[in-house]
Structure 1
Amino acid sequence: MKPDRTSLTRLVAGNNGFAVDLYRQLSKAQGNLFCSPFSLSSALAMTFAGARGNTAGQMAQTLHFDLDDEALHAAFAQLQASLAAAQRPGQVQLALANSIWPQIGYPFLPEFLALLQRFYGVSITPVDYATATEAARQAINTWAEQHTAGKIKDLLEPGILDELTRLVLVNAIYFKGTWLYQFDPAHTAEARFWLTASEHVTAPLMQQTCRLPYAEVDDIQVLSLPYADDALSMVVLLPAREKGLAGLDALFTAERLDHWLLGLQEREVQVFLPRFKISSTLRLDATLQALGMTDAFDDMIADFSGMDGIPRWLYIAAAVQKAWVQVNEEGTEAAAATAVVMNFRCVSEPPPVFRADHPFVFLIMDHATRSILFCGRVVDPSGAE
């Protein structure tokens, strides 16, 4: 079934809600941050296709999925097609790719694999985690690097995969766009960049004056910097210096963001923006659990029976993302890759119970020769004196 415009709108609203939740959770750590909420949503949507029961319910709530299953996956297909259509040769590159890497011979349900191929266009590459874990890791990493123009290397670090891994689902996204109004490098100059209201460092600030969508609301300056095709833009949210990011974070919700964007109006703006480059390596297990997706990571509770027909055999062992961005006078280049690693639950047998509460035979043996030196039996221990 094809999603209608309402389904696509609901999906985008949900994805943006998750993006804000993700940012708020990750921003609790110090320092620069860069991630791709869309890449994570896409990888987890493929994983969600195999979730059932409470596992699926928690994932839907965390990811803000409020469509029925087929409408959801169809909407993702439409969204990815729409984003791919935004490419403009020489101006904007926007490439998306999905892949899955199942364990050779593991009985994944044909309908699960067919759904991922139909709606997410996945490539399916069986690998052998059981006996060739490192070769599987290298193959997945090579795919991610190839689909991000070489920007994302070593997506999966050693130790993330093991002999119990049964499936890895990967999303890759690459973007490169030139500004509609490029900055003149001759106008870039070293200037103070305030870390706090009283502390600063020196950074190269690009500058220009032109007509741009701009708003001032809630003590926040909102600026939209369009790329060359005017279909994509970078939105910069700048809080008042004395309030800092804490003031912005206190207000930042998906609904408030919509309100800020609705207030944008074109006007002449003098823009100062630093050149910057950020790379991030994110292990997202704890982040997703903090957002409410707990069952999916619990090997005793997780239900991904939609993948293999067997409840509580598969669980998410790791969710990782690497992201990279560079902003300069010409434009922006960014890439991210996300991997969701599904492991097979190691079913530990309970310890055997040796309860000698009935007649038994016993032997006394020599270890070296295995000679039976004594033997006997106990029928009634109360009379065995």
Structure 2
Amino acid sequence: MTKKLLLNEAKDSNLVCTPLFMQTVVSLLNSKTNSTLDDRLLVPKLAAWVFADGSRKGGPRLSCANGLWVDESVHLEPSLEQAGGNAYKAALNRVDFKTDYEEVTTRVNSWLDKEANGLINSALSPGSVDALTRLLFANALYFKGDWDKEFDASKTEKYDFQLLDGNLIKRVPYMTSDERQHVHNRV
């Protein structure tokens, strides 16, 4: 799946795709028949932990939202609908892709923008959803944390930001530091 994404859909662009997200999609779609017992037990536990609102007092904020848009002509097994809503916290939306695919694109982009606190405003480009679409799974991940020791803003420097194909996008500010940075999780 990752190879296909990187070689086709994400070619010459920037892409973030997490293994947990891919496992969530596969496990959700296989929730009734093809998944192993380990998958059925492990993934909902991971989902409950990751998809919970992580805004603990003094800690970082981590939130993840899943949305499932299904064409009204598609019959879903009750177990899939239940797994989507309960274990994976996926909002299930019945839509008409055949006639309203442009509106669905707008709705999904609006949902992603809301769930990512205004940071994702157009994940689906025009034409990425069409009358042949039957199922769309979207995931929004939001993280906000504070540094134990803030970066010195005067050490911000601009560098070229380039796509994988080497085309220059623009000069962007990068945080720099002469100190060693350590990352750890405080629970």
TM over 0.5: yes
Identify the match of residue 167 of structure 1 among 87, 110, 135: 135
Identify the match of residue 209 of structure 1 among 167, 179, 185: 179
Q: Alpha-carbon deviation of 1:126?
A: 0.7
Could you tell me how far apart the structure 1 residues matched to 2:38 and 2:139 are? 20
Change (3 A) 1:101 1:31: closer
Q: Alpha-carbon deviation of 1:88?
A: 2.8
Structure 1 runs of 4+ aligned residues shifted over 6 Å read 29-32
Specify the SS of the correspondent of 1:178: coil
Q: Alpha-carbon deviation of 1:175?
A: 0.8
* Matched residue, 2:47: 80
Identify the match of residue 186 of structure 2 among 216, 227, 230: 230
Structure 2 segments unaligned to the other structure (5+ residues):
163-170
User: How many residue pairs are counted as aligned between the two chains?
Assistant: 173
* Matched residue, 2:151: 183
Could you tell me how far apart the structure 2 residues matched to 1:99 and 1:202 are? 32
Matched, 1:40 2:10: no
5 Å matches for 1:180-329?
180-186=148-154, 188=155, 190=157, 204-209=174-179, 224-226=182-184, 230=186
1:103–1:128: 8 Å Cα contact kept in structure 2? yes
Instruction: Output the aligned Cα RMSD.
Output: 3.6
* Matched residue, 2:119: 151
Could you tell me how far apart the structure 2 residues matched to 1:50 and 1:160 are? 29
Could you tell me how far apart the structure 2 residues matched to 1:204 and 1:114 are? 44
Specify the SS of the correspondent of 1:207: coil
1:43–1:170: 8 Å Cα contact kept in structure 2? no
Could you tell me how far apart the structure 1 residues matched to 2:142 and 2:37 are? 27
> C-alpha deviations, 1:226-276, integer Å up to 9, x for none?
4xx635xxxxxxxxxxxxxxxxxxxxxxxxxxxxxxxxxxxxxxxxxxxxx
Identify the match of residue 49 of structure 1 among 9, 21, 31: 31
1:80–1:96: 8 Å Cα contact kept in structure 2? no
Share of identical aligned residues, percent?
A: 23
Q: Alpha-carbon deviation of 1:40?
A: 3.3
Q: What TM-score do the two structures reach when normalised by structure 1?
A: 0.38
Identify the match of residue 86 of structure 2 among 118, 121, 127: 118
Could you tell me how far apart the structure 2 residues matched to 1:110 and 1:230 are? 39
Change (3 A) 1:160 1:50: farther
Q: Alpha-carbon deviation of 1:192?
A: 8.6
2:64–2:139: 8 Å Cα contact kept in structure 1? yes
1:180–1:230: 8 Å Cα contact kept in structure 2? no
The letter for the 1-side match of 2:21 is S
Could you tell me how far apart the structure 2 residues matched to 1:82 and 1:144 are? 20
Instruction: Looking at secondary structure, tell me which structure has more strand per residue.
Output: 1
* Matched residue, 2:166: none
2:25–2:137: 8 Å Cα contact kept in structure 1? yes
1:43–1:171: 8 Å Cα contact kept in structure 2? no
In our comparison, the structure showing a higher alpha carbon Rg is 1
5 Å matches for 1:56-135?
69-83=36-50, 84=52, 86-89=54-57, 91-135=59-103
1:104–1:126: 8 Å Cα contact kept in structure 2? yes
